[in-house]
A = this chain, B = another copy of it.
């Protein structure tokens, strides 16, 4: 019998000598990673003492503790996170759920989150919903049992679904407000106010909002703020959309933008703004000569275009960072720690003037 056909002959009755262990001891790799039992044997103490020495500094006699640490170092010991998670329920990892990884808006959010998490010894589990609420729900289900908390970035889930999820474990939503669920939302007012003032100063009186996904909370929030402020500043405003929050989504609105006869548009996000700008230029329209365009977020690449895109900047990195810090506070609080007290600095948006806005064509 060759060594290769290792399975198949299971019910062999004379396999009585020293039954092999359940798993092939670390998957036929080098030796099987030290455990606290190995350390205990080497240091001549009980495994529970090792556990305490390693995770409850001070609980154990200094001399013993030193001996154990030395043994651990010698064996190159690494704690098995899964073994710890089982009895304690704490996994030291966070789930991050994104609508679309390739949308540059997420880059900085992810980076901010990753750095805040790894600084505190937490690991990030990543999942993408590709703008689909079913996939997002499935991903949340999948991640949920393995994490201490969940961060939803521009979720496409319904409020009820989010509330249900939040009932199971600590959860923070980004760019959305859901009643009773902690969320991180930048203050969009200042940026919008500045953007509208800028347009007003350039003589624009008739503008449009190219809107994004219908089920995006942030999309509605931006539109609501514009609807509230634009008339107050003496401008008329119309909504064009909804559309996909992508380059194509922006490009396909061109005909309607032109038809609406507006002199300036704000798009739901930079991607749509850039898509629209390129479509406009391809059809011979001058930006900003004949049409001023403003985006949202100030994503990577928004200053690559020609003209560079004027946009309402969102502090994306800070958002990711604060979301993670907030969820860790929730986790600590739930574990019986002190209630949160430190409050984070506010997240404000700001209008960035670049080249895609100019005097209104009359």
Contacts and interface: CB of A to CB of B under 8 A. Distances in A.
B89 A86 contact: no
A334 B83 CA distance: 22
Contacts of A167: 29-30
A142 interface: yes
B30 A168 contact: yes
Contact of A304 (B29, B111, B121, B305): B305
Give the number of copies in the complex.
Answer: 2
A4 interface: yes
Nearest to A110: B101
Contacts of A127: 114, 118, 123-124
Contacts of A27: 89, 169, 334-335
A217 interface: no
Residue among A33, A108, A336 with max Cβ neighbours from chain B (10 Å):
A336
Interface in A248-263: none
Given A7-B336, A27-B89, A126-B124, A107 B101 contact: yes
Given A78-B141, A102-B107, A334 B300 contact: no
Nearest to A123: B125
B89 A114 contact: no
Interface size on A, as a range, is 35 or more
Interface in A61-76: none
Nearest to A108: B102
Contact of A123 (B4, B83, B111, B146): B146
A279 interface: no
A215 interface: no
Contacts of A301: 104, 300-301, 304
B111 A102 contact: yes
B78 A82 contact: no
A128 interface: yes
A123 B142 contact: yes
A153 to B, nearest CB: 13
A83 to B, nearest CB: 6
A133 B146 CA distance: 28
Contacts of A56: none
Interface in A119-146: 121, 123-128, 139, 141-146
Nearest to A299: B301
A90 B305 CA distance: 47
7 contacts: A22-B88, A27-B335, A29-B334, A33-B145, A78-B145, A101-B107, A123-B126
Given A83-B86, A114-B127, 4 more contacts: A80-B145, A101-B107, A102-B108, A306-B306
Interface of A: 4, 6-7, 22-23, 26-30, 33, 78-83, 85-89, 91, 93, 96, 101-102, 104, 107-108, 110-111, 114-115, 118, 121, 123-128, 139, 141-146, 167-169, 274, 300-301, 304-306, 334-337, 339
